[in-house]
Structure 1
Amino acid sequence: MSRRRGSDDRTTWRQYLRYRFDSLLARGTWAVLLWLGIVTFAVVLTASFLLRRAGVTLAGSEDGGWFEDFWQSMLRTLDTGTMASDSGWRQRLVALSVTIFGLLVLGTLIGVIASGVEAQIDRMKRGRSAVVESDHIVVLGASSLLPDVVDQLCRANAGRRTAIVVMADQDPADLAEEVRQGVENTFGNRLVFRDGDPTRLADLELVRLGHCRTVVVLNGDGDHSGDARAVHTVLAVREALGDHDRTPIVVVLDEAAVAETLAASLDESVHPIVITQAVARNVVFALRERGLGEVMSELTDFRGADVYVVPAPGLVGTRFGDVVVGASGFRPIGLMRDTGAVEIQPAADEVIDSSDRLVIVAHESTVDLDLDCGFIAEQRVGHGDRPDFRSTSMTQHVLVVGWSGLGPPLLTGWAMSAGADSTVEVVFDPRVIDQDGIDVPDLGDISVVLKPFTGDITTLGRRVAPQITAIVLLAYRDHLPSQEVDSRTLLELMTLRRDLEDRVQSAPRLVVELTDPGNSPLADVRGVDEVIVTPAMASRILAQLVDDPSRRAVYLALYTPGGSSIHMVRAERLDLRGTVTIRDIVVAAAAHGVLAIGWRRPAELGGELVLNPAADRRLDLASGDEIVVIG
């Protein structure tokens, strides 16, 4: 039924004017200032006409002209003291009216300006202004990885004064506080925070993607739609980049299938990283050999030596073996071809091509690549064939206590280099996780046994059979409240350490997973080979790929069994004893078919690890000292 028009439907002039005034205010500060200027001009113009009509003029006029009256009227709107010298009631009434109006205008003007400044400050706090940066790093989204990622990026760019721009759909002040709590030192870099939805093109304009160096996409925490949102963000970023679509995009994902699909659908500028897989690959080294976990932690942390892929135009035409023995401030470990393929430990006679890039271990990417040509000439002769130290698949027996999402990729990676007679025993608490929830991957011929354990946790050590070579404590991070996860893991650790104290010679390697970095010192006890703090380790790996995505191919080449990888070799096996220089170690290692990149003291002598030491450094080798080699 149609609605009948009544008297209540009529709009009054008051309602109309109020509506127009509200609409004017809604247009912003400049619209209000323009309106005030127009009204002020009209009032001053009216006052000057009244003065001319009355045949009088205001005090201070130099002549009786209309423009002079207009000027004097305008002065009285700006300065209330100007009317004090006016004489005659007609002049005073006009001057008083103009002055009162000026007071109203001035008060309104101050209020409008204050409101506009406050709104602009609020806008700045909300991070809604566009950044004006170039060669900056853009991080889109927020997660528990963010503080550690920013901290590592600051270390990687120390001294470069790089802007790290973070945009997430949350309050920038809260985000900035959270990040700065995890950043020890910005090293001269600038942190910029913006509020916006990374999936919206309009918001992406705030971070100036077309001028950035790298884009990082985080997928959030505990959100089942995280991968979908991350993929949506990547597609929006590609659209926003336009002609700059070769800008590297590193995206964090939870599902390996999503990562594979994304990599296959887009070009090589998009680098998906599955956090659990990346962390598991690092931890696998700790299971392969004692001490390798510490080496990989060093190589993926910008606090020490790192892997770099650098152009080497000055070494074109040089034998790789000559680069090995002649290097001083860096340790060469391989070559990256123009196709992106990585060859770890190429033949000594391999000649570096102009299209090759050198893979090195160094403390910074800008290291001087000059060689000691005199030393090369001395050492080039007399390299005979020697046995190498590449480890073969060995029988290992792993005990896994607990379960988390790290379990499947960790066991898969470990099985790639384990012997066929190896075994895995998974001990779990059925009160925390059902046996059906333990998704053990297919490990081929390797035997896997699941054993529920509901007894007293203090008796857990009795489950460690003498043949066990490694113990992995996984946190029930997907099945227990966060405040209980690490407490349980640490209690299990203390129980196992107590029961294993007598097994000095045959003590198994011990790997512990924690969720809170603050608990890491509590697990850093003698006998623990690797403490896995998943968010911290994942952040370090992610920052390495953000700094240089080509590192991914290097890590995969080192990780893949059957090729050259990282090993620990006793110094005496390289015929090294007494006082030697690092260059002596490099030459001895090369003669035995491996590349030396550092050394490590045994745990009983402090366990010091040094990667990429200076070539002229002298070292007194002690019994049990190990050389870190690639071979």
Structure 2
Amino acid sequence: MRHLRYRFDNLIARGTWAMIGLLAVVALAMAVVGAAAILTLAPNATDLPSALWSGLMRTMSPGVVTRDSGSPVFLGCMLVLALTGIVIFSTLIGLIETGLDRKLASLRKGRSLVIERDHTVILGWSEQVFLILSELAVANASRGRTCVAILADRDRVSMEEAIRDRVDLPRRLRVVCRTGSPTDPMDVAIVSPERARAVIVLGSEDTCSDARTIKSLLALDAAKVRPRVQLVAGIRDPDNLVAARLAGGANALILDVDEISARVMVQTCLHAGLSMVYSDLLGFEGDEIYFRQPGELAGESFGDALPALENCSLIGLEREGKVLLNPAGETTIDAGDRLILIMDDDDAKPVRASARVDHDAIVATGEHEPVARRVLVLGWNACGAAIVAEFDHYMPPGSQLKVVADDSRMTSQVEGLSARVAGLTLSHETGDITRHSTLQRLDLGAYDHVLILADDRFGAHVADSRTLLTLLHVREMSRSNGWRHSLVTEIARDGDRRLVEVTEVDDFIVSSKVTSLLMIQVAENPRRHDVFADLFDAGGQEIYIRPADDYVRLSTPVDYATVVAAARAYGEVAIGYRTECLSGGAGGIALNPPKSRRLTFEPGDAVIVLAGGRLRQEDGARPWGATGIRQKRAALGR
């Protein structure tokens, strides 16, 4: 009996299907017993198959016994058969209900396998998820139905609810959330990364971000993802870049998040409106970077081809797999090259321009004397040291930079940087920048640029609250005293963007947004990586916003093609302009305008250009001397 009970317990432990099978056997056995009773006791006995069917029906439907008649023994057997059937099928219903509950609970946990192909996988969870999903919806608008699979160490239902509340997703984009550790190879396999088009690894918002990113890359390697799938990840500490690239393999594109953020903040601080240019260029709703065959431009020089396309801005060439941004004007475009273009739509085709270049309207002002600048940095975070180093690269000798923050890291790092900067005088002061009294004694009117950093010692909500408080104090003091300086603010959450816009800040930067957009751009088209690597690399091509009167005569109507030709006289590539009179666009910024667009620049307007190399000069400085500029003007036909 003990052995029989032991075997019965083992059978029950096998789960729902074992129990269902046991109940089926019992039901068949009771049908056989009922058939025997019918054959021996029924008043009108039938053949064996009919008796078996009648016994089975009485077991499955106890109500049949109400129509039976015969001896008391026969009726008692039929009653026992009906009661047994009630027990069997009530137990079966309970098992089915329990099994469904378990299945629903399993689905709620988000542990089922994702069977997709050519989808995008996101490993990790942060505020960046919502922006990435919004941009992927725009990027995949022309592909029909697409899928994004998210694996994070969070409850699946809470992730889906957060996405529904924060992102207005179109029906063609399906988001599948799964619960699991992005650093566990078994969990990573749930989202089928080996069949994905691209995998984006998001860092966490704590001090272990880089370690977790590297472990996720190793988990993807264990899941046999590389080298077939494009991997994109961000690293905050430059010392971890080598380890991350080793973990990700040759097919992984690893971005230095803090360095990119620092460079964007510094460039925006020195060039008002540059953050809007980057947002437009990196976002999918505006103009993007595409690669096209040269077509009829093959055989022409790069300089002559710049004003030749009506709806595209030519910025470089891809030759033998290498990106050449803003090459020399005499560089011949070969048939095997690819044009690197800024275009509005992936489906657009380059159109030959018919606009005329007005050489008489082109102005060349020559070099400007570099003027020392004064910069005030309010606050400190992990990017602080990189930001100071970037200011040292961009600002002319004699410039001054002062840091004010209530952060113990700031004192030691600024003192260490003071010995390494070349032409920048550093100073620092400890103080609570959220207090009006602290800001009042700083003499803000003596500074040309003010940069407010988000404090990463606090959560994103608290950090932005402190930043907004500081920003409001600075704005009020500047207005009441009539001070004129550029004011750039870093915010931690893209959701606080509208609050910052209310303060009428000159520029604001969501550092996580810049890196998120860059990761999506690279994931969607890996060939763009080399383009952005050049734009964000030391000594590479960079975007500047320069006064329009350096290029063309003010108050004189010209076609935009004339602006392009004027920029080429300086060895630059014009990609747009900024004017307060622009209707539409963000902040008066217009990227990739048609070459035939008629423009009349006024004082304060500017041209957005792609220029080579970092210069220790202020806005308007040129890498060429006045003689070289005159030679270029002569080459243009002057």
TM-score class normalised by the smaller sequence: 0.7 to 0.9
In structure 2, give the amino acid aligned to 1:493: L
> After superposition, what is the alpha-carbon deviation per residue over 1:216-274, rounded to whole angstroms, capped at 9, x for unaligned?
1123222x4332222121112122135x5231111233322112332256533112223
Instruction: Find the residue that maps to 2:141 and give its secondary structure.
Output: coil
**Correspondence for 1:151:** 134
**Amino acid across the alignment from 1:42:** A
- SS for the counterpart of 2:224 is helix
What is the Cα deviation at residue 610 of structure 1?
1.5
Q: State how far apart, in whole Å, the 2-side matches of 1:236 and 1:394 are.
A: 52
SS at match of 1:241: coil
Post-superposition offset of 1:133 = 1.6
Deviation at 1:43, TM superposition (A): 1.8
In 2, Cα distance between equivalents of 1:433 and 1:297:
30
Which whole-Å CA distance do the structure 1 matches of 2:339 and 2:580 have between them? 31
Distance 1:439 1:482, change over 3 A: farther
- Structure 2 vs 1, CA of residues 452 and 627 (structure 1 numbering), >3 Å: closer, same or farther? same
Q: Cα distance, 1:562 vs. partner?
A: 4.6
- Residues of 2 paired with 1:563 and 1:226: CA distance? 28
CA contact (8 A) 1:423 1:448 kept: yes
Q: Of residues 107, 115, 120 in structure 2, which corresponds to 1:132?
A: 115
Pair 1:416–1:591, CA change in 2 (3 A): closer
1:44 equivalent in alignment to 2:31: yes
Q: Equivalents in 1 of 2:523, 2:415: separation in Å?
A: 31
TM-score, structure 2 normalization? 0.84
Quick check: 1:105 aligned with 2:50? no
User: Are residues 1:75 and 2:65 paired?
Assistant: no
Tell me which residue corresponds to 1:214: 198
- Distance in 1 between the 2:43 and 2:556 partners? 105
Deviation at 1:437, TM superposition (A): 6.5
Deviates more, 1:150-159 or 1:397-406: 150-159
Whether 2:390 is the aligned partner of 1:406: answer no
> 1:131 deviation in Å?
1.7
User: What corresponds to 2:411 in structure 1?
Assistant: 435
Q: Which amino acid aligns with 2:198?
A: T
- 1:4 corresponds to: none
Which of 600, 606, 614 pairs up with 2:594? Answer: 614
Instruction: Describe how 1:136-215 pairs up with structure 2 within 5 A.
Output: 136-160=119-143, 161-186=145-170, 188-215=172-199
SS of 1:335's equivalent in the other structure is strand
Deviates more, 1:554-563 or 1:325-334: 554-563
Deviation at 1:351, TM superposition (A): 3.3
1:182 Cα deviation from its structure 2 partner: 2.7
Q: Answer whether contact 1:388 1:594 (CA < 8 A) is retained.
A: no
Matches of 2:119 and 2:427, distance apart in 1: 50
Is the contact made by 2:551 and 2:566 (CA closer than 8 Å) also made in structure 1? yes
- The 3 A distance-change label for structure 1 pair 408 and 547 is farther
2:343 corresponds in structure 1 to 362
1:476 aligns with 2:459: no
- Paired AA for residue 611 in structure 1: L
Alpha-carbon distance change, 314 to 92 in structure 1, aligned in 2, over 3 angstroms? farther
- Where does 1:288-327 land on structure 2 (aligned, <5 Å)? 288-306=270-288, 308-312=289-293, 314=295, 317-319=298-300, 320-327=302-309
Q: Which has the higher contact order (CA 8 A, sep 6+)?
A: 2
Residues 294 and 335 of structure 2 are in contact (CA less than 8 Å); yes or no, is this contact kept in structure 1?
Answer: yes
Looking at structure 2, the residues matched to 404 and 541 of structure 1 have their Cα atoms a distance apart, in angstroms, of 21
Question: Secondary structure in 2 aligned to 1:219?
Answer: coil
Q: Give the aligned partner of residue 9 of structure 1.
A: none
Normalised by the length of structure 1, the TM-score is: 0.85
Query: Is 2:494 the partner of 1:531?
Result: no
The 8 Å contact of residues 472 and 510 in structure 1, kept in 2 or not, is answered as yes
Q: How does 1:53-92 map to 2 (within 5 A)?
A: 54=40, 56-57=41-42, 64-89=46-71, 90-92=73-75
Counterpart-to-counterpart distance in 1, 2:423 and 2:550: 33
Alpha carbons of 1:586 and 1:185: their partners in 2 closer, same or farther (altered >3 Å)? Answer: farther
- CA distance in 2 between counterparts of 1:503 and 1:412 reads 31
Where 1:586 maps in the other structure, the secondary structure is helix
**Aligned residue number for residue 450 of structure 1:** 428
Check the 8 A contact 1:141/1:166 in 2, yes or no.
yes
1:388, CA displacement in angstroms? 9.3
2:299, 2:191 → 1: CA distance?
44
Aligned mates of 1:593, 1:527 — CA distance in 2? 35
Say if 1:396 and 1:423, in contact at 8 Å, map to a contact too: yes
Pair 335,103 (structure 1): closer, same or farther in 2 beyond 3 Å: same
Structure 1 alignment gaps of length 5 or more: 1-11
What are the superposed Cα offsets for residues 387-433 of structure 1, whole Å, 9 maximum, x if unpaired?
69899976332211221112112222232222232222112236x76
Contact conserved, 2:316 with 2:325, CA < 8 A, in 1? yes
Instruction: Measure the CA separation in 1 of the matches of 2:179 and 2:266.
Output: 39
Amino acid at match of 2:491: L
| Residues 1:174 and 1:87: Cα distance change in structure 2 (over 3 Å) | same
* Structure 1 residues 384 and 239, CA gap change in structure 2 (3 angstroms): farther
Farther off after superposition, 106-115 or 459-468: 459-468
Q: Which moved more, 1:284-293 or 1:232-241?
A: 284-293
Q: Is the 8 A contact 1:598 1:629 kept in 2?
A: yes
Q: 1:599 Cα shift?
A: 1.7
Instruction: Please tell me whether the aligned partners of residues 309 and 360 of structure 1 are also in contact (alpha carbons under 8 angstroms).
Output: yes
- Distance, in Å, in 1 between the alignment partners of 2:474 and 2:129 is 33
Report the AA paired with residue 300 of structure 1.
Answer: L
Residue type at the aligned position of 1:275: V
Contact 1:598–1:609 under 8 Å retained in 2? yes
2: CA distance between counterparts of 1:603 and 1:509?
Answer: 20
SS of the residue corresponding to residue 307 of structure 2 reads helix
In the alignment, the residues of structure 2 paired with residue 225 and residue 459 of structure 1 have an alpha-carbon distance, to the nearest angstrom, of 33
1:488 and 2:466 correspond: yes
Distance in 1 between the 2:59 and 2:294 partners? 74
Q: Deviations over 1:299-354 (max 9, x none)?
A: 22333223x24242646734334542232332121123334x32211234433345
Q: Structure 2: where are the runs of 5+ without partners? A: 612-638
Bigger mean CA deviation after superposition, 191-200 or 163-172: 191-200
1:126: how far off? 1.9
Question: What is the letter of the counterpart of residue 435 of structure 1?
Answer: T
- 1:481 to partner: Cα distance: 6.5
Offset at residue 382 of structure 1 (A): 8.5
Change (3 A) 1:148 1:247: same
- Whole-Å separation in 2 of the counterparts to 1:70 and 1:137: 57
DSSP-derived class of the 2:159 partner = helix
CA distance in 2, matches of 1:322, 1:93: 104
Supply the RMSD in Å over aligned alpha carbons: 3.4
Q: CA deviation at 1:110?
A: 1.7
Tell me by how many angstroms 1:461 deviates: 4.2
Q: 1:166 Cα shift?
A: 0.2
Contact 1:402 1:473 in 2 (8 A): yes
Higher mean Cα deviation, 408-417 or 616-625?
A: 616-625
1:252 aligns with: 234
Aligned residue in 2 for 1:114? 97
Give the counterpart of 1:601 among 561, 575, 579.
579
In structure 2, the partner of 1:232 is 215
Matched, 1:31 2:18: yes
Alpha carbons of structure 1 residues 368 and 26: separation in structure 2 relative to 1, 3 Å: farther
Match of 2:625 in 1: none
Contact in 2 for aligned 1:44/1:70 (Cα 8 Å):
yes
Q: Secondary structure at the match of 1:524?
A: helix
2:149, 2:191 within 8 Å by CA — same for their partners in 1?
yes
The 1:575/1:361 distance shift into structure 2, 3 A limit, reads same
Please say if residues 396 and 418 of structure 1, whose CA atoms lie closer than 8 Å, have aligned partners that are also in contact: yes
Q: Secondary structure at the match of 2:234?
A: strand
Q: CA deviation at 1:109?
A: 1.8
Distance in 1 separating the partners of 2:250 and 2:30: 67
The answer for the alignment partner of 1:628 in structure 2 is: 608
The answer as to whether partners of 1:403 and 1:438 remain within 8 angstroms in 2 is: no
